[in-house]
Amino acid sequence: MGRLSGKRIMVTGAAQGIGAAIAEAFHREDAHLLLLDRDGEQLSNTAERLRQTGARLATATADITDAAAIAAAVADGERVLGPINALVNNAGINVFAEPLQSNDAEWDRCFDVNLKGAWNCCRSVLPGMIEAGGGVILNIASTHAFTIIPHTFPYPLAKHALLGLTKSLGLEYASKGVRVNALAPGYVATAKVLDWWNSFPDAEAAKAETMRLHPGGRIATPEEIALAAVFMISDECPFMNATCLTVDGGLSVQQHPA
């Protein structure tokens, strides 16, 4: 307990799934939280659950593609919590298609949320971190950031780019005391994965195939990803910068399932 004491952390996409699990894990480690999501109702439910266990937090309903809204949310949150000194860029969307069947609207939405949205949040907190002499940014990437699954275009492109953003910012601001890293989950038991399984004619068969791909025969829980996020935001890895930690149960290492 207390591994994140003194951290004032902004978490995007915090209403449910991995984001909510991260918020809960950070609270257990004594962090103060600024929680953002575009789903105001679900965000309120998550925030209330955390407040009932003593969490100190602020919330903002905002779309990360709106740079002005994010800047305003940060300013409001800092008036309540104090200067933000850590950020988790968790918000993202799945956009999957066969390349020649995709369209410009899908491309734009994918990159606006998964890349530009993360940058909007980074540039809203970086000046304060630099002025304070340090901070931590964690971008939730994906194994899609370095592997390709057919028919998931253009999502992997955006996640590859997010890894590039991580490395670029990590090197750019290392001398200012700011660490920027990425965390790459594989399959995680969230609503997004359930929706993806349900997009197949036989959802149970799709689920079974996903499990078969994993050496351990199962996928991650959101809480397991949150544990990794605690470590990467904490001061326990002060020399980790401009890199990516993979948490996928060995999925991306295995060339062919057994």
Q: Per the structure block, which two tokens stand in for 219?
A: 């996928």
- For residue 210, the surrounding DSSP H or E stretch is helix 203-213
Measured distance CA(33)–CA(76) in Å, rounded: 12
Contacts of residue 181, Cβ cutoff 8 Å, sequence gap at least 6: 136, 137, 138, 139, 166, 170, 232, 240, 241, 242, 243, 244, 245
| DSSP, residue by residue, 136-163 | EEEEE--GGGT---TT-EEHHHHHHHHH
Residue keyed to tokens 């207390």:
2
Q: Per the structure block, which two tokens stand in for 116?
A: 């530009």
Catalytic residue among 155, 173, 187, 196: 155
Extended beta strands in 186-224, E state? none
Measured distance CA(67)–CA(235) in Å, rounded: 29
Q: Per the structure block, which two tokens stand in for 70?
A: 């994010």
Residue 173 annotated in active site: no
What residues are labeled active site?
A: 155
